[in-house]
Structure 1
Amino acid sequence: MKHNYLIAILPPPELSWQIDQIRKACSEKYKIYKALRPPVHITLLFLQNLDDVFESQLINSLEAARNFEPFTQKLENYDAFVGNEVVFIKALANSEITKLFRNIKKILGDLAKEPRSQISPHITIAYRDLKDQFSQIYAEYKNKSFEANFSVDHFTLLKHDRSHWNILRNYKSKPGDQQLEFNL
């Protein structure tokens, strides 16, 4: 059987709750619901249709990515991916999240059929089921302000069970472990 997996940064519960309230208000106002399915998160990698036989390899391989230094992630205001109709809170790119993304991608090798070479960190507010409302939603949010910071000392592996996203494992930062070298 094949499943989808998400490697993500989950903000602390209080901040996740606050952002979820924003998602819910948008959802209720515009009658769009898909953005409410996953937990509040910043996607590092999305693994689609990965065969279950690779799950233990995935879980074990990610242990090697724990070698990152904890860092502060800043969230600031709203933006959109216009061609993809996604409205989101901007998670400001920084060298630490870029290193974590590239390290995970390198460690997973062929398991990560991720075409992106760069990370575009964000927390989705609305996507997928907003067609006609995209311009209206983006117009509403693009001039709103939002600011928050949180400490990132772990990342999370989630698995979709055909109805919900479930946490499989948290990977707490373990600085000082052997680092993988690569050019930024």
Structure 2
Amino acid sequence: MRYLQMPDTCLYFIAIIPPEDISAEVTSFKQELADTYNTKKALRVMPHITLKAPFTINANRDAEVMKWFLNIETNSPPFETILNGFGAFDNPRNPVLFVKPEVSAAMRRLQKDILSAFKKQFPNIPVHFHEDEFHPHMTVGYRDLAYAEFEKAWVVFKDREYKSSFTIDSFCLLKHNGEHWKVTSYKTLANKDTL
């Protein structure tokens, strides 16, 4: 996807990036949807679980964003997440198909900590209303997924079994370069034993 941004602004978001093996599995679902249901946009973005939706900020504040990100206090130790089947946002104007993480208190707490830190550091940047009602997901089809194709795909995916798990021990800041998202920094979760 190509984001429109002014030359004097930068676009960021914060996400959990799964390990390579799970990323490959999720990408295979994206490819299946592209091949069968004519939706390719999800292939342009690496598999991820969004913790803070994209936000735009003046380019001259890039160092401030980096410093803020690296100093986010989460008080979260690493935790396991389970990916269990598929879900959907059944919206005729913008349907989304996704791999469904099981919602855990640890993931909710991490997202809440990040969102709270963001609101405190950047009070003049609007936060999307849906961010306060966290629905973690790993998108496999969206944006160019026509609703008729979504309905066909959902019949196939809604009962499809897929189960995997991984340990979340970090999250990352991504920056859009005008063509695609690039990880600019990782933040490691503190292990309880090291606190």
TM above 0.5, yes or no, is yes
Q: Secondary structure at the match of 1:46?
A: strand
Q: Which residue of the partner structure matches residue 149 of structure 1?
A: 165
Where in structure 2 are the equivalents of 1:10-159 lying within 5 Å? 10-62=17-69, 63-83=71-91, 84-109=94-119, 110=123, 111=125, 113-115=127-129, 116-131=131-146, 132-159=148-175
Q: Secondary structure at the match of 1:133?
A: helix
Q: Distance in 1 between matches of 2:118 and 2:61?
A: 11
Tell me the C-alpha RMSD between the 2 structures: 1.7
176, 181, 187: which is aligned to 1:171?
187
Where structure 1 has 5 or more consecutive residues not aligned to the other structure, the ranges are 180-184
Q: Per-residue displacement from partner, 1:55-79 (whole Å, max 9, x unpaired)?
A: 2222211222353110001100011
Count residues with an aligned counterpart: 177
Q: Which residue of the partner structure matches residue 9 of structure 1?
A: 16
CA contact (8 A) 1:4 1:160 kept: yes
Query: Which moved further from structure 2: 83-92 or 49-58?
Result: 49-58
Q: Per-residue displacement from partner, 1:101-128 (whole Å, max 9, x unpaired)?
A: 1101111112462322121011101001
Deviation of 1:175 (Å): 4.2
Q: Which amino acid aligns with 1:23?
A: K
CA contact (8 A) 1:58 1:108 kept: no
Deviation of 1:18 (Å): 1.3
Q: Secondary structure at the match of 1:20?
A: helix
Deviation of 1:172 (Å): 0.7
Q: Percent identity?
A: 26
The runs of at least 4 aligned residues of structure 1 exceeding 3 Å deviation read: none
Q: Which residue of the partner structure matches residue 5 of structure 2?
A: none
Q: Distance in 2 between matches of 1:47 and 1:125?
A: 18
Q: Which amino acid aligns with 2:43?
A: L
Q: Distance in 1 between matches of 2:115 and 2:29?
A: 31
Q: Distance in 2 between matches of 1:15 and 1:78?
A: 14
